[in-house]
Structure 1
Amino acid sequence: MTLQQLQYFLASVEHGSFSAAAEALHLAQPSVSEQVRRLEDELGVTLFQRVGRGLVATEAGRTLRPHAERVLAEVEGARDAVVDVREVRGGTAAFGVFGTSRYYLGADLVRAFHRDHPDVRIQLVGQNSSEVVDAVRAGELEAGVVVLPIDDAGLDVRPAMRDELLFCSADPAHLRSAMTIERLARGPLVLYDVTFGAQDPTRRQLTELAQRAGVTLEPLIDVEDPETALDLAVEGLGDTIAARGTLLAQRRRLSGRLGWVPFAEPIYDDFAFVWRRGAHLSPATRAFVQAVEERLASVRRRLDRVPRRHRPGA
């Protein structure tokens, strides 16, 4: 029994003859009658009897009819569901983000994506890149955007953009020249992402630089988010670091008492997309990845609005 045979059977019931059914289906009459005959042979029953020049369903035919209608309706529903996902008319965009991603993506990205794809369910999960990587590898998320370096075992990694890290302080004496990792280790330091600590890619990068220089980074104050670290730096409780994208997002609220300089050997946050190696992303998640990629490109073009050097009070 095939879907085609059921379709031809229902058309014959509806139109009352093989010729009328064939015309409605844009087929030759023998094609319809032959498939109905094969269906009868398989079931071992007669589905139609001739009445005059037309066809009338037998009791077996009347019994089959609701089952055939239900089967074809289910198939059509399955087809529509798949098309909805293929054309991003439905489905779920399950995407991981790192903790400071709000400075680069923002609520307006979600707002714009929802406007373009109102039937797609959006899940943004994650507080740190290491957490996102674990969730993607475990199949809990389809994809994510992270800060490198990460453990990329079992993952495909596609670079997205680079953002420079700057040294921030309210003390002009600390900003007379580009910062070095040795001087950073000697000063009062405020660092963010305390929950993930050494697992955080930015802290991991700073720690590796310090180890190669033979020094140790021991923050005076550990906090959770960059905004708090910047606020404490403004108050003079310690110096901190911030990416230019963070400073760009916070420029309207930053006190004029805060300044910054680059590192003598520039340090960067490298952002990348990750997904399981060889995985095929759902259309919804693929569309969201594209939206994130476009947004990051827009941010990258605006980073020059944040000068690499800025004096407090300027």
Structure 2
Amino acid sequence: MTLTQLKAFLAALERGSFTAAAVELDSTQASVSELVARLERELGLKLFTRGPRRLVPTSAALELREHAVQAVTAITNGVDAIHALVSLEGGTCTFGVLRNAAYYDLSDLVQRFHTRHPHVKVRLVGLNSSLVAESVAGGEIEAGLVVLPVADEGLEVKPLFRDEVVYVSAQRHPGQGPVSIEEVARAKLVLYDAYAGWNDPTRRQLLERARLRGLTIEPAIEVEHVETALNLVATGAADTMVCRTIAEGATFPEGVCVTPFAEPMYDTVALVWREGTYLSPATRRLAELAETTMLAKVAPT
């Protein structure tokens, strides 16, 4: 039993003749008649008898009708769903973004994507990079943007660019020269991404550098958002560190000085997706849009 046979049977049943069914199916009367005959031979039962003006369905045809409709509808719906996904006329994409996505002009990413593909549902998750990586590896989201290093087991990683991390203080002047790791260890610090803690990639870099020198880093204050940390720095309560993109942003507080580290430190932004998986067309398109947006933001003018 084939899908083509079931379509021919249903068309003949609805139209009342093989000729009319052939017109509907863009086929020939002989082809439709043969398809129904093959179906009858497989079933071992007659589906139609010839009346004076039209085909008359048998009890077997009436019994088969509901099941044939369900089968043809299910296959048609499945094919339509795949076509919609490929053509970006439907489906859902799931994507993880950096916690500080707004500083890379990603805040309106969904709006721009939705304008282009209004029938695609979007689930955009904004988490610390370590949590985005875990969610991608666990199959909760398809792909995401992260800052390296993250636990990359089971992930494909595509580095995009490096963003320098700088020291931020309202009290320390850049004229004093680059900031050493020894000075950082002695400083009163406010660090953000409190929930992720030392799993945060930027924090991990700082901690590893300190450990290599036998030092420890103990923040005096921990907050969740970088904006809160910067507000505290502006009051002179503590110092912090941010990537240069944030330091050059329009909302960066006045009166706060930016100094590079003696041993330069960078946030490496990368695109990650689960190893061995095929991204849906919608998620792939969203990832391309996010990558283009970020590279345009950091490209030299």
TM over 0.5: yes
Hey, what's the Cα distance between the residues in 1 that align with 2:172 and 2:67? 82
Q: CA deviation at 1:23?
A: 4.5
Does the 8 A contact of 1:169 with 1:175 survive in 2?
A: no
Which residue of the partner structure matches residue 61 of structure 1? 61
Hey, what's the Cα distance between the residues in 2 that align with 1:279 and 1:211? 37
1:61 is paired with a residue of what secondary structure? helix
Query: Equivalences for 1:33-48 in 2 at 5 Å?
Result: 33-48=33-48
Which residue of the partner structure matches residue 155 of structure 1? 155
Does the 8 A contact of 2:174 with 2:259 survive in 1?
A: no
Q: CA deviation at 1:116?
A: 1.5
Which residue of the partner structure matches residue 187 of structure 1? 187
Which residue of the partner structure matches residue 277 of structure 1? 275
2:55 is paired with a residue of what secondary structure? strand
Hey, what's the Cα distance between the residues in 2 that align with 1:70 and 1:83? 20
Does the 8 A contact of 1:243 with 1:269 survive in 2?
A: yes
Query: Equivalences for 1:108-123 in 2 at 5 Å?
Result: 108-123=108-123
User: Using a 3 Å threshold, how does the CA distance of structure 1 residues 36 and 215 change in structure 2: closer, same or farther?
Assistant: same
Q: Which 10-residue stretch deviates more, 68-77 or 281-290?
A: 68-77
Q: CA deviation at 1:126?
A: 4.3
Hey, what's the Cα distance between the residues in 1 that align with 2:123 and 2:105? 14
Hey, what's the Cα distance between the residues in 2 that align with 1:268 and 1:298? 18
Hey, what's the Cα distance between the residues in 2 that align with 1:195 and 1:68? 55
1:264 aligns with 2:262: yes
Query: Deviations 1:131-179 (Å, cap 9, x if unpaired)?
Result: 1222222211211111101111111111122111111122254543122
Hey, what's the Cα distance between the residues in 2 that align with 1:23 and 1:184? 81
Letter in 2 for 1:271: V
1:238 is paired with a residue of what secondary structure? coil
Hey, what's the Cα distance between the residues in 1 that align with 2:289 and 2:173? 42
Hey, what's the Cα distance between the residues in 2 that align with 1:47 and 1:272? 62
Which residue of the partner structure matches residue 239 of structure 1? 239
* TM-score, normalising length: structure 2: 0.90
Q: How many residues align?
A: 301
Q: CA deviation at 1:90?
A: 2.0
Q: Which 10-residue stretch deviates more, 207-216 or 268-277?
A: 207-216
Q: Which 10-residue stretch deviates more, 235-244 or 10-19?
A: 10-19
Hey, what's the Cα distance between the residues in 2 that align with 1:175 and 1:165? 18
Letter in 1 for 2:246: T
User: Using a 3 Å threshold, how does the CA distance of structure 1 residues 254 and 23 change in structure 2: closer, same or farther?
Assistant: closer
Query: Equivalences for 1:55-134 in 2 at 5 Å?
Result: 55-134=55-134
Which residue of the partner structure matches residue 224 of structure 2? 224
Hey, what's the Cα distance between the residues in 2 that align with 1:151 and 1:124? 21
1:99 is paired with a residue of what secondary structure? coil
Hey, what's the Cα distance between the residues in 2 that align with 1:70 and 1:173? 74
Q: Which 10-residue stretch deviates more, 221-230 or 272-281?
A: 221-230
| Percent identity (aligned) | 46
Hey, what's the Cα distance between the residues in 2 that align with 1:220 and 1:65? 74
Letter in 2 for 1:279: T
Does the 8 A contact of 1:175 with 1:260 survive in 2?
A: no
* TM-score, normalising length: structure 1: 0.86
Q: Which 10-residue stretch deviates more, 147-156 or 191-200?
A: 191-200
CA-atom RMSD in angstroms: 2.3
Letter in 1 for 2:259: V
User: Using a 3 Å threshold, how does the CA distance of structure 1 residues 174 and 298 change in structure 2: closer, same or farther?
Assistant: closer
Which residue of the partner structure matches residue 290 of structure 1? 288
Hey, what's the Cα distance between the residues in 1 that align with 2:96 and 2:179? 32
Query: Deviations 1:185-212 (Å, cap 9, x if unpaired)?
Result: 2322222222222111100001111222
Query: Equivalences for 1:130-145 in 2 at 5 Å?
Result: 130-145=130-145
User: Using a 3 Å threshold, how does the CA distance of structure 1 residues 9 and 162 change in structure 2: closer, same or farther?
Assistant: same
Which residue of the partner structure matches residue 6 of structure 2? 6
Q: CA deviation at 1:270?
A: 0.5
Q: CA deviation at 1:102?
A: 3.1
Letter in 1 for 2:117: H
Does the 8 A contact of 2:94 with 2:142 survive in 1?
A: yes
Which residue of the partner structure matches residue 49 of structure 2? 49
Hey, what's the Cα distance between the residues in 1 that align with 2:191 and 2:263? 19
